[in-house]
Structure 1
Amino acid sequence: IEEFIVKLEIEMSKHLDNLQKEMETEKEIVFISSHDNIKDLSIKTSNAKTEFLRLLECSTKAKRQEILDKISNISMDKKRQPLSYEQLRKVNLENYSTVGIKQDGQGCDNILDRNKYIKDIDNTKSRQSIKRTIYIGSNLH
């Protein structure tokens, strides 16, 4: 019986050694398989990222071109004015008027053609009594 127990212990230890070797082999296979799966997943992720960036660039380029075309169409349309502006115009206006009669020498010295204006007014007067006559000349620059 003792001999049988010794043989059984030897067989059990051999069997345990074989089981440990198989476990080590399985463990190695699992690590290699996991490493390969992680490597494949990394490659797929990198490819997906590259494809996503390519699609993003293409869609961005297409949208940018669409916006540029829209801006170009708006700016070429002669009926639309996308830009506004303001103007200031100054008009130089000469106005000579007289009420009543002033004797020569009593008028303003700064009116250069005073006598010409008075003569033009007298020539255009009707025979009716006019209270006021205005001579208007304009000089646009």
Structure 2
Amino acid sequence: LARILGDCRSFRPEVSAAIEKEMRRIAEGTAQAYNVAAEVAYTREFVPLINDAALVDEALAAARTALADDAVRVATDDAVRIAAEPMTASEDFARFLDHVPGCFVFMGNGDTAPLHNPVYDFNDEALLQGTRFHAALVRRRLPAL
């Protein structure tokens, strides 16, 4: 008995389907060559998170009205990225975007270890910035009463 575990991440569902098809083909061909059985259990735990372009523009406009001028910028380092290259991080929010258009936003947290690191230290000051951003976004998206 041999067992191989791993995950595959892609930016488009058709790529995920092609990966699954090829994995099955290779496993079945290898099993046939050695006169053994193969079973492939392929699940899609990680789906691409695809932002709605119009909502990205809305989020950027809200951020620019609610935050300091230097808080929203295009950067080449890891601090802030706008229109960044695709990344293969996994995020459950992607499942919501399968059902309703949306936009995932990275909010800065200062100089600390990355999330899920045992020495990560949440910057409580970031709550104020996040609240300002979300309030500005609500003001832009909801009709005035």
Q: Same fold (TM over 0.5)?
A: no
Question: Higher strand proportion, which one?
Answer: 1
Of Structure 1 and Structure 2, the greater helix share is in: 1
- Bigger radius of gyration among the two: 1
Shorter-chain TM band: under 0.3
Q: TM-score normalised to the size of structure 1?
A: 0.17
